[in-house]
Structure 1
Amino acid sequence: MKPRLQATLGQQLVMTPQLRQAIRLLQLSAAELEVEIAQAVETNPLLDWTESSVSVEADASHADGTSTTAQTEDRYETETLAPAEADWGPGDGETWYERTGPADADDEMPGAEQVAESETLQDHLLWQLHLSPLSQRDRLIAVTLIEAIEDDGYLRDSLEAIAETLSADIRAEPDEILMVLHQVQRFDPAGVGARTLGECLGLQLATLPGNTPGRALAHTLANGPLERLPKVGVAGIAAELKLDPCEVETAVQLLRSLDPKPGLQIGAITNDTYVAPDVVIWRQHGLWRVTLADSMRPRISIHRGYEGMIRHASASDAHYLRGHLQEARWLLKSLEARGDTLLKVMRCLLRQQAAFLEFGDSALRPLTLREVAAEIGLHESTVSRAVARKYARTPRGTIPLRSFFASGIDTGTGGEASSTAIQAMIRQLIEAENPRKPLSDARLAESLKATGVPVARRTVAKYREAMSIPSSQDRVRM
């Protein structure tokens, strides 16, 4: 075959520094984002704080029940949302929508911040397990695996050792445990549950698009030659595999962009004593609206004075200023993308869970990360990062965005009821019971079944214990 040159057009996704920065900023909490921005302003002379005209009037406006959003830059336009498909939806001619405009005097503004709960890597994984469509047996095995995963995200115990720690009524073989482990390894953060560095990098490579440059070769390097890379270098690996050193260098750079200890993204994060809301949800004239909290809006800008000096500076100074100018632009663009992604997720949650804000936990619909990701066209891991350690200020108080998600149980009418709604129903039954003759778990299960929610007695007991409600014998009051 005669060699020839041919030009082609194509699109591909590359893990550029800007993309990695955007992903990292997306998973930061409000307090961590403030620290990140402060450090950027201190180290980059091209960044400067923007004077806020609403800081003095913020407390007064909130006291009047109005939003300070009218006094800030209106970056997101009004969007009308379709009403959720449920019996509790709005009446004819009424729609659920969101905007960032001013709130009227009769708005029901949310309450103040609340104390944040600490979260570990295990908490993060168990929350995703709760939303996964696994059998009860696989869930018990997965819980044992998650408890064995260390803070850096690795599973260093052998499958045989895991099998020995399982209860006597499970008795799973290593092959069955391995199948459940593969399900856990699909959780966020990517690479969690790996047993070796090569497997950890391979799990992260699997989440990248197939046309990512060097992806296939990076898989090959992660499965063996990567350990010899410090000794023989890129040239040695290229000679061993009989490949062009440029191809090997591309694959090595891709591997270096991955996280060798993904568990520290969650486990090593310092927990805040108090939380600042990332979004604000309020009701105005019977409609639910959402906007980014004032603290989440970028309060930095590019220093125009230093930017103008680039034209008249010397070559070395101009090169220094241009580099910092590019970093400042990347940061501002990443912050804007973070806000857009967060609002996109919140729009979907409002469409799906408007009744939850209206009627409380009993109206919470079953909703998973996969459903939200499919609706808004994002990856599950992106949605998970967007809601992780994020809070919304609502008329019901400051609540984590995870409260909008819940697993589902089939009902007798052909629909589904969320686990959170079932817990709320159990609590209501217990609050209305005769204190001299409390309802047993079996009676509670019968009452739920009569309302069209067939739940086993063991499930009722599990939900009751999760709400820290004592048994019927301990609830007797004479």
Structure 2
Amino acid sequence: MKPSLVLKMGQQLTMTPQLQQAIRLLQLSTLDLQQEIQEALDSNPMLERQEEGEDFDTTDPLADHVETKANGEAQEDSFQESTYQESAPSNGSEGGEEGDWNERIPNELPVDTAWEDVYQTSASNLPSSDDDEWDFTTRTSAGESLQSHLLWQLNLAPMSDNDRLIAVTLIDSINDQGYLEATLDEICEAFDPELDIELDEIEAVLHRIQQFEPAGVAARNLSECLALQLRQLPAKTPWLALAQRLVTDYIDLLGNRDYSQLMRRMKIREDELRQVIELVQSLNPRPGSQIASSEPEYVVPDVIVRKDRDRWLVELNQEAVPRLRVNPQYAGFVRRADTSTDNTFMRNQLQEARWFIKSLQSRNETLMKVSTQIVEHQRGFLDYGDEAMKPLVLHDIAEAVGMHESTISRVTTQKYMHTPRGIYELKYFFSSHVSTSEGGECSSTAIRAIIKKLVAAENQKKPLSDSKIAGLLEAQGIQVARRTVAKYRESLGIAPSSERKRLM
């Protein structure tokens, strides 16, 4: 075969930079989009925020650049003329005016604000003597880890150098839940033999750390954790002695909900056991969770849904994303026939600004279309709750709005809708379906809501098993297997029936 040149005609789909930018903005969450907009405002001088009460400038800045430039030159000439007239000294008063001007300048010019109104000094952060509600923990524990909180208390405790070294090693072995992960033998072997640290010293330091806050920290198991918390309660606390005996000797029976065996072993009545268990349940089995180690995450709704005269209205959250426009002053500096470097840069910035604004408009229109269709399909949920949720998949919305399923997936990811029933992610309204005995369909979200309702109304002495719940659902015409009920129950965070047993 000989190599040859052949000319062919064909069609090919190409991802233009504009389309790539629109897709990237479409899948961003509200907080990420705000950051993207701020970066665009910082890098592109043609973009600016539209203030409230202003309208978008719909005229083409390039078409009016000649008039804008002429007006600018006229204003500049008038400004120079007025400046010259104001700065020109009057006859015979040049020296006197200069002397009077120097005399009128005060030593300290007045200001509108004080330094403490803008900047916080170390002295202003300290509590005043009259502030009785000042709390050190609430103002200084944001983002604090459990280890740093324990080390802060360690610095306030008088210890020898060896004990402090042991304490730091023990604190490093405490996990986020507040439990000591390593055994004392493992910690003892980790030290240098020349230090001559014995196991009794490590256990003595451990007892001192267990007196730190939060109560129950540095425990080696659940029984010790609960016992440490009970030990710090006042001695006059009701049922304290029985609670200490319960968590020390019979913690396994309590975990298995074997109340009859507990009453027989502890020789107490049912009402007394109920009081003891209530005291134990008031304790925290994970003391380390009290110290926040992560920053809070905020959710900003993209869409707001409200009811007006028996109609559900859908609107975008205008306060979440700022409105942008092209700066008419900078856009007027662009000249059509100029090919200089500065003009080419400004022209490119103007084109990128227009693309960015158009991509934002496309994102808002797509989000509005998808949200409207979701509300139209899930009116029953908005009126009656989770039990009225209908089955919905991405293909249904894609056909309704005339878009691809991948586009619907991007729109509904990390986007939130504010409804009278709460804030939900758009993905929440999509669920699979289960067939009913009458030939209809029931969404998995509705089944979860029914299971939650059945568990809330069950007899706590005899909780409903998964098979019993499946039978109750079948009585309502919903055909669900026991394994499916177990899967839905676990997704709701509901414990099995053996763990839900309570004393009435």
TM-score, scaled to structure 2: 0.49
Residue of structure 1 equivalent to 2:26: 26
Report SS of the residue matched to 2:359. helix
Report SS of the residue matched to 2:319. helix
Amino acid at match of 1:19: L
1:275-297 deviation digits (Å, cap 9, x = unpaired): 11111111111111111101355
Is 1:444 the counterpart of 2:469 in the alignment?
Answer: yes
CA distance in 1, matches of 2:428, 2:486: 21
1:434-470 deviation digits (Å, cap 9, x = unpaired): 2222211111111100000011111111111111111
1:296-347 deviation digits (Å, cap 9, x = unpaired): 5552110100111113877322211111000000000000000011111112
Shift of 1:53: 4.5
CA distance in 1, matches of 2:389, 2:446: 6
CA distance in 2, matches of 1:22, 1:437: 56
Is 1:315 the counterpart of 2:340 in the alignment?
Answer: yes
Residue of structure 2 equivalent to 1:283: 307
CA distance in 1, matches of 2:359, 2:451: 44
Shift of 1:404: 0.7
Residue of structure 2 equivalent to 1:335: 360
Report SS of the residue matched to 1:305. helix
Q: Against the structure 1 CA distance between its residues 374 and 382, is the aligned structure 2 distance closer, same or farther, given a 3 Å change threshold?
A: same
Report SS of the residue matched to 2:374. helix
CA distance in 2, matches of 1:339, 1:414: 38
Equivalent positions of 1:15-414 (< 5 A) are 15-53=15-53, 273-311=297-335, 315-414=340-439
CA distance in 1, matches of 2:481, 2:48: 59
Which of these residues, 460, 463, 472, is aligned with residue 488 of structure 2?
A: 463
Sequence identity, in percent? 47
Amino acid at match of 1:315: S
Q: Against the structure 1 CA distance between its residues 304 and 11, is the aligned structure 2 distance closer, same or farther, given a 3 Å change threshold?
A: farther
Shift of 1:14: 2.5
Shift of 1:35: 0.6
CA distance in 1, matches of 2:413, 2:421: 20
CA distance in 1, matches of 2:495, 2:398: 38
Report SS of the residue matched to 1:28. coil
Amino acid at match of 2:441: E
Report SS of the residue matched to 2:477. coil
Residue of structure 1 equivalent to 2:204: none
Shift of 1:17: 0.2
Report SS of the residue matched to 1:372. helix
List gaps (5 residues or longer) in structure 2: 1-5, 57-293
CA distance in 2, matches of 1:294, 1:450: 47
Amino acid at match of 1:414: G
Report SS of the residue matched to 1:294. coil
Shift of 1:473: 2.0
List gaps (5 residues or longer) in structure 1: 55-71, 74-269
Retained in 1: the 8 A contact 2:34–2:321?
Answer: no
Larger Rg: 2
Amino acid at match of 1:21: Q
Report SS of the residue matched to 1:33. helix
Residue of structure 1 equivalent to 2:446: 421
Report SS of the residue matched to 2:306. strand
Root-mean-square deviation (CA), in Å?
2.7
Report SS of the residue matched to 1:301. strand
Q: Against the structure 1 CA distance between its residues 43 and 347, is the aligned structure 2 distance closer, same or farther, given a 3 Å change threshold?
A: same
CA distance in 1, matches of 2:477, 2:318: 44
CA distance in 2, matches of 1:320, 1:454: 66
Aligned length: 262
1:140-196 deviation digits (Å, cap 9, x = unpaired): xxxxxxxxxxxxxxxxxxxxxxxxxxxxxxxxxxxxxxxxxxxxxxxxxxxxxxxxx
Q: Against the structure 1 CA distance between its residues 7 and 460, is the aligned structure 2 distance closer, same or farther, given a 3 Å change threshold?
A: closer
Shift of 1:357: 1.3
1:390-430 deviation digits (Å, cap 9, x = unpaired): 00111111111111101111111111111111010011111
